[in-house]
A = this chain, B = another copy of it.
Amino acid sequence: MSHVAIVLAAGQGTRMKSPLPKACHLVAGRPMLGWALEAVAATGPSRTLVVVGHRAELVEALLPPGVESCLQSSQLGTGHATLQAVSLLGTLDPETTVLVVPGDAPMMSAEVLSGLLSAREDSGADLAILTADLADPTGYGRVVRNPDSSVQRVVEQRDADPATLAITEVNAGFYAFAAETLVAGLAALSPDNDQGELYLTDLVGITVGSGGRVLPVSADESVVSGINTQTQLAAANTARRRAILEEWMVAGVAVTDPDRTYVDFRVELAAGVQLYPGVHLEGATVVGSGAVVGPDVFAIDATIGPGARVWYAVLRQAEVGPGCEVGPYASLRPGTVLRQGAKAGTFVELKQTVVGEDAKVPHLSYLGDAIVGAGANVGAGTITCNFDGHQKHQTRIGEGAFVGSNTMLVAPVSIGAGAVTGAGSVITKDVEDGALGLERSPQRNLPGYAAKRRARYRAAERDQPTEGH
């Protein structure tokens, strides 16, 4: 049977006290709405509508092609939100199922949604709802059952009396309606409650009251929990991250401490990868087999090749080749490419720079807009002076070149293949292949200087006190 899906994502999430609409908050690197849309898409709906409201443009920006948005311009409740979507759907076959799900339940799964759909379709019930038994049901609508255990209605927290509040079975906010049941029910909704809003939950009682059948489908709390607070958001992040890591561990990734390892949903890891604690892998990061990552690495949209060793490092849109070494204490900024066996060592920052095979940048260097040839060695303290205060210029270091410590490469400039620069040189003109480029004065030694300096200080001491370092 065919079905359409409505995702409710209009809410502000007031209790989160965040400038973002609720559905935009990230869980394991993906907006909550994204998790909902993925699960919904896997059920194969003929159409999917997302109801947007608070800061609608931010929510709409998250919608993949083919998913439609529907604006709820005033926040008048979930029933009102659903009504907006239904009015866009046009005339539906009465037996079509309309799946209505919250946009703020990032642990939902395609399996649970498919189960809800099948339950309605197989039973012919007018409405199937997910319910969950919660240790602490505060904030949720309670499921009131008849003496024969069939569903009577759902009562929102704010409208519930103490006896109803004691019920622990709640409406999880997931519905599979027969289309005619939904349309008829929405028409019968009234804003007769504390908030003057239209509650979708009232459709349970309305459906029952008009002789319809409501089928409860029980689900696990962990799967259907909605996010209303920062604490719940943090817990959802922990749960999703853990689930992601479990899958990677099954696939052969070794994780020293899964509770301290942060891998977002789009990341790809090969079997044999080892992740140490304090690793954050975000975006479209890919790590190859046998790579050892961490402790304390942040990588976004980065590629780490097989057998590479990356620790105490930050990688943004950078590519680390097979067998490379990065860190400890390195920052690879966008456009960095390390070819096989290259090294970006300690206190090294690279930007828009390609480091050739087996070339080394071992310490205390900044290279920007540079191309380093295979096998070159870049001495400690080397800096590309790539910015002249106005624009950026390129530096080229040839294959097998030996750049002396603390060489300033004033771009645009080129060091030839196999060329050498003297330590401490400011290189403003190209150095030919195999040549030495040198900028230096003669060294002078002044004997007895230290004694004279001490005497000078001693004289100065009469005037002012010394300070600590």
Chain A residues in the interface with B (C-beta under 8 A): 16-19, 25, 229-231, 233-234, 237-238, 246, 249-260, 262, 271-272, 276-278, 280, 290, 295-296, 298, 311-312, 314, 328-329, 331, 346-347, 349, 360, 362-366, 377, 379-381, 383, 385, 387-392, 402, 404-406, 408, 410, 418-420, 422-429, 431-432, 434-451, 453, 457, 460, 464, 466-467, 469
- Contact indicator A262/B251 (Cβ below 8 Å): no
Best-buried of A16, A17, A246, A408 by chain B (most CB within 10 Å): A408
How far, in angstroms, from A257 to B312 measured CA to CA in the complex? 19
Cβ–Cβ < 8 Å partners of A408 in chain B: 381, 405-406, 423-424
Cβ–Cβ < 8 Å partners of A366 in chain B: 346, 363-364, 380-381, 405
- Contact indicator A423/B426 (Cβ below 8 Å): yes
Closest residue on chain B to residue A363 by CB atoms? B366
- Contact indicator B428/A443 (Cβ below 8 Å): yes
Cβ–Cβ < 8 Å partners of A16 in chain B: 252
Q: Select which of B276, B296, B363, B383 is within 8 A of A405 by beta carbon.
A: B383
- Contact indicator A390/B460 (Cβ below 8 Å): yes
How far, in angstroms, from A408 to B237 measured CA to CA in the complex? 47
- Contact indicator A392/B467 (Cβ below 8 Å): yes
What is the distance, in angstroms, from A407's C-beta to the closest C-beta of chain B? 9
Q: With A230-B249, A230-B255, A391-B466 given, can you name 9 additional A-B contacts, CB distance below 8 Å?
A: A17-B271, A25-B254, A277-B278, A311-B314, A363-B366, A387-B469, A390-B466, A428-B443, A439-B442
- Contact indicator A252/B18 (Cβ below 8 Å): yes
- Contact indicator A385/B405 (Cβ below 8 Å): yes
How far, in angstroms, from A388 to B363 measured CA to CA in the complex? 15
Given A420-B450, A443-B429, check contact A363 B390 (CB 8 Å): no
Q: Select which of B390, B406, B443, B457 is within 8 A of A390 by beta carbon.
A: B457
Given A231-B250, A252-B18, A426-B440, check contact A259 B259 (CB 8 Å): yes
- Contact indicator B328/A314 (Cβ below 8 Å): yes
Cβ–Cβ < 8 Å partners of A428 in chain B: 443
Cβ–Cβ < 8 Å partners of A418 in chain B: 450
Cβ–Cβ < 8 Å partners of A432 in chain B: 445, 447
Q: Select which of B262, B424, B448 is within 8 A of A277 by beta carbon.
A: B262
Q: Select which of B331, B383, B406, B434 is within 8 A of A383 by beta carbon.
A: B406
Identical subunits present: 3
Closest residue on chain B to residue A241 by CB atoms? B257
Cβ–Cβ < 8 Å partners of A252 in chain B: 16-18, 230
Closest residue on chain B to residue A296 by CB atoms? B296
Cβ–Cβ < 8 Å partners of A446 in chain B: 435-436, 438
How far, in angstroms, from A383 to B312 measured CA to CA in the complex? 22
How far, in angstroms, from A405 to B389 measured CA to CA in the complex? 11
Given A229-B249, A349-B347, A464-B391, check contact A439 B444 (CB 8 Å): yes
Between-chain CB contacts (< 8 Å), 6 pairs: A230-B255, A276-B280, A383-B405, A434-B449, A436-B445, A439-B444
What is the distance, in angstroms, from A57's C-beta to the closest C-beta of chain B? 19
Closest residue on chain B to residue A416 by CB atoms? B450
Cβ–Cβ < 8 Å partners of A364 in chain B: 347, 349, 364-366, 383
- Contact indicator B406/A389 (Cβ below 8 Å): no
How far, in angstroms, from A434 to B360 measured CA to CA in the complex? 37
How far, in angstroms, from A255 to B201 measured CA to CA in the complex? 31
- Contact indicator A246/B231 (Cβ below 8 Å): yes
Cβ–Cβ < 8 Å partners of A271 in chain B: 17-18
- Contact indicator A314/B314 (Cβ below 8 Å): no
- Contact indicator A346/B328 (Cβ below 8 Å): no
How far, in angstroms, from A436 to B388 measured CA to CA in the complex? 13
How far, in angstroms, from A434 to B451 measured CA to CA in the complex? 7
- Contact indicator B460/A445 (Cβ below 8 Å): no
Cβ–Cβ < 8 Å partners of A420 in chain B: 389, 449-450, 453
How far, in angstroms, from A233 to B258 measured CA to CA in the complex? 11
Closest residue on chain B to residue A314 by CB atoms? B328
How far, in angstroms, from A257 to B280 measured CA to CA in the complex? 12
Q: Which 6 A-B pairs have the closest CB atoms?
A: A17-B252, A436-B449, A230-B249, A424-B426, A390-B457, A436-B446
What is the distance, in angstroms, from A26's C-beta to the closest C-beta of chain B? 9
What is the distance, in angstroms, from A420's C-beta to the closest C-beta of chain B? 5
